[in-house]
Every structure is written in structure tokens, then in C-alpha cells.
């Protein structure tokens, strides 16, 4: 491997960032964003299963819409100790007690009560649409539909990728990088996903963002990308084992289609963690992608690929207008008179 493909490594902290859809991606503290200055305008969603809530509003004395996502943190096994949930500061409030059964509300010390918080400011309509309650459909995208409908939409409407380039060019989030292979053709940066706090092993979630530009999604992969894909798989597994002590066989390594942003990236999650977007209609295991390309070089340029789509997405309107999908009509209750 040439000198340009030598690898540099960084240690990840547990800081939280606000991703901004423009040329400046700054730390929340640098933007002086405080929740006490946030005025809620609308609750977009409240997922009681995943314990997440999304709201929009305005920061006082600032223009633009803010999008805030709160998520209850997963339990850390190391906190199940006399210094954690079973310490003297923990309080129990009784709901009821009946024979051997008791139901309580537990109030542990404040350090254990953190709520994972993501701030997107200023948020665009596309950001907000992702968190609104959605009617979902599955599109079976043929290569022809990709070329005539999906690709033109991607090229016109995709999110600004400056925040990705800022990471790759060393302009931001360098203190979050877990691993960095600087090879321009086969290199990638491994960073914690915004959905992970960077600490809790049970919810491990990392993204491998490739250095090579111009690869939008798995649709554009062929045999020339096999060295890149295998390097991501092998070096990603190795680094995660070294740093987080999770075996490669305990990782879910996959790509999304459609992806949330159109610069090729690979997801690494702990197999025990039921991360968003892991289901069959959207997730493609990296090993399967590699195997398909080894069998047929242009497999992903020939295949019909499914993907879930929300009625709130502009791409839905394009497929609907062209007769490939139909919006759900509101149900009408018939009342006997």
C-alpha cells in the first residue's frame, strides 16, 4: 500500500454536535444554542416504543427553524452497580405493592438521567419531513425507474454534503473520528453516528464515510469498488474490536437504500441494538453486497431494488405522478341513520 494509503487513528470523545445544512458545521456551544431559549411550535412525533420525541420551534433572537430530537438513553451495564442505580442517592416512589409484586418509579442520581439530544439548526423542510408521522409505501425501483425518476430527483434535491466534506477535509468533527484511512481511492473515515452518544457499547452506531467522491449509493457500485468495500469491512471490524471489544461477528454492517445522504457510507451497529433502518426493505448487508458484485460486476445497476418511501417526500410525488404508487386516502366512517 502506498504512503497515501497509510492509516491515521484518532480517539473519539463523547461530544454532541449540531449538523447544519450549509457550509458551516459548528459545535452547538459555538452557536450558543440553549434549550432555555427554544420556543416549541409543533410536536412532530412521539415514538413511545423507541422513547423518542421530535419537536420544531424557534430559538429566541435567531432566525430559522430549529429541529430537536430527544431520545432516552439505553442502560449501560456498568451502571448497574452500587455506584450506579443501586447507590444511596437512588429513590423509589411506590405506585402500588401487592403481595410479592411492587411497581415503582425510580429516580437515580442526575448523572444517570441524561437524555440524548440532537439539534438541527437551521432545519430545512427536508429535515423536518423525516420526523413527521408518515404513511409509508414500498417502491420496487427498476434500473429504468432509477435513471428516469430517482436519479434526476437526487441530483436536483439532495441534501447539501458540505458537512461530509468538512469531516473528510479535516475542517470539523476531527475530535470525534474513531479511525481514518487517508487513501483517496480506498480510504474512509469511521465516526460515531449522531444517533449514538459515542460511549454506550449496547447502542454502538458508527458510520464509515468513504473518501472517494461521486459514489451516491449502492446503485453505482461495481467490481472496481470491491477493494474499498472489503477494506471498510475488515478495517472497521478490526478497529471496533480494538476500541470497543466487540467481535466482528457481533456487528451488523450494512448500507441503506435509499440512503439518508448521497455520499457512499456504511453503517456499523451492535447486533444487539435494534437501530433505526435495519429492516429488509431498506438495509443491505455489506457482505451480501460484496458477494453479489463478485457474482455479477454490474449487479446493482441491473437489479430491481426496493425502498420505503413516505408520502411526505417529494420523491413520492414524482412516483405518484408517473403512476407507480398511490397515496393512502383518508378512511370514511359510514354512520347508520
247 is in an annotated binding site: no
Asked if 175 and 15 touch (Cβ cutoff 8 Å), the reply is yes
pLDDT for the residue 4: 41
CATH of domain 28-116: 3.30.200.40
Sign of CA dihedral 131, 136, 140, 146: negative
pLDDT tens for residues 75-107?
Answer: 888 899 999 999 999 999 998 787 888 888 999
Would you say the CATH fold of 135-321 matches that of 28-116?
Answer: no
pLDDT for the residue 337: 39
Give the CA dihedral 173, 174, 179, 184, nearest 10 degrees. Answer: 100
173 is in an annotated binding site: yes
139 is in an annotated binding site: no
How does residue 114 score in pLDDT terms, banded at 50, 70 and 90? confident
List the single range of 5-19, 119-133, 254-268 with lowest mean pLDDT: 5-19
Which residues, at least 6 apart from 91, have a Cβ–Cβ distance to it below 8 Å? Answer: 106, 107
260 is in an annotated binding site: yes
Query: Which one is the CATH code of 135-321: 3.40.50.970, 3.30.160.70, 3.30.428.10, 3.40.50.620?
Result: 3.30.428.10
pLDDT tens for residues 221-263?
Answer: 999 999 999 999 999 999 999 999 999 999 999 999 999 999 9
Q: Where are the alpha helices (DSSP H) in the chain?
A: 28-31, 125-129, 143-145, 151-157, 162-168, 226-244, 286-295, 299-302, 314-321
How does residue 49 score in pLDDT terms, banded at 50, 70 and 90? confident
pLDDT for the residue 47: 79
Q: Is the pLDDT of residue 69 over 90?
A: yes
| pTM (predicted TM-score) | 0.68
Q: Is the pLDDT of residue 285 over 50?
A: yes
Question: What 3-state class would DSSP assign to 67?
Answer: strand
Q: What are the boundaries of each domain within the chain?
A: 28-116, 135-321
In the chain, the percentage of residues whose pLDDT exceeds 90 is: 61
261 is in an annotated binding site: yes
Active site residue 137: no
pLDDT for the residue 276: 85
Choosing from 133, 137, 225, 265, which is the catalytic residue?
Answer: 265
pLDDT for the residue 8: 40
List the single range of 6-20, 50-64, 231-245 with lowest mean pLDDT: 6-20
Amino acid at each position: 500500500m502506498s504512503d497515501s494509503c497509510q492509516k491515521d487513528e484518532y480517539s473519539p470523545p463523547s461530544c454532541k454536535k449540531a449538523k447544519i445544512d450549509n457550509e458551516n458545521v459548528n459545535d452547538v456551544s459555538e452557536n450558543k444554542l440553549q434549550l432555555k431559549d427554544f420556543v416549541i411550535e409543533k410536536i412532530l412525533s412521539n415514538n413511545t416504543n423507541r422513547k423518542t420525541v421530535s419537536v420544531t420551534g424557534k430559538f429566541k433572537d435567531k432566525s430559522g427553524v430549529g429541529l430537536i430530537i430527544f431520545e432516552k438513553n439505553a442502560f449501560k451495564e456498568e451502571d448497574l452497580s452500587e455506584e450506579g442505580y443501586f447507590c444511596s442517592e437512588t429513590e423509589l416512589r411506590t405506585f402500588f405493592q401487592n403481595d410479592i409484586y411492587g411497581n415503582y418509579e425510580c429516580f437515580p442520581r442526575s448523572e444517570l438521567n441524561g437524555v440524548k439530544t440532537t439539534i438541527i439548526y437551521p432545519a430545512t423542510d427536508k429535515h423536518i419531513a423525516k420526523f413527521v408521522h408518515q404513511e409509508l409505501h414500498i417502491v420496487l425501483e427498476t434500473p429504468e425507474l432509477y435513471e428516469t425518476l430517482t436519479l434526476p430527483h437526487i441530483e436536483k434535491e439532495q441534501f447539501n454534503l458540505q458537512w461530509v466534506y468538512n469531516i473528510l477535509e479535516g475542517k470539523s468533527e476531527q475530535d470525534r473520528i474513531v479511525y481514518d484511512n487517508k487513501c483517496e481511492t480506498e480510504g474512509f473515515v469511521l465516526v460515531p453516528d449522531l444517533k449514538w452518544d459515542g460511549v454506550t457499547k449496547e447502542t454502538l452506531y458508527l458510520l464509515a464515510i468513504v473518501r472517494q467522491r461521486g459514489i451516491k449509493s449502492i446503485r453505482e457500485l461495481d467490481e472496481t469498488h470491491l477493494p474499498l468495500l472489503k477494506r471498510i469491512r475488515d478495517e472497521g471490524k478490526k478497529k471496533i474490536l480494538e476500541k470497543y471489544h466487540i467481535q466482528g461477528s457481533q456487528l451488523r454492517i450494512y448500507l441503506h437504500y435509499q440512503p439518508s445522504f448521497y455520499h457512499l457510507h456504511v453503517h456499523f451497529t451492535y447486533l444487539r441494538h435494534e437501530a433505526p433502518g435495519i429492516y429488509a426493505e431498506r438495509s443491505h448487508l455489506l457482505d451480501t453486497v460484496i458477494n453479489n458484485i463478485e457474482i455479477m460486476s454490474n449487479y446493482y445497476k441491473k437489479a430491481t431494488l426496493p425502498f420505503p418511501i413516505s408520502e411526505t417526500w417529494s420523491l413520492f410525488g414524482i412516483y405518484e405522478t408517473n403512476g407507480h404508487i398511490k397515496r393512502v386516502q383518508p378512511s370514511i366512517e359510514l354512520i347508520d341513520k
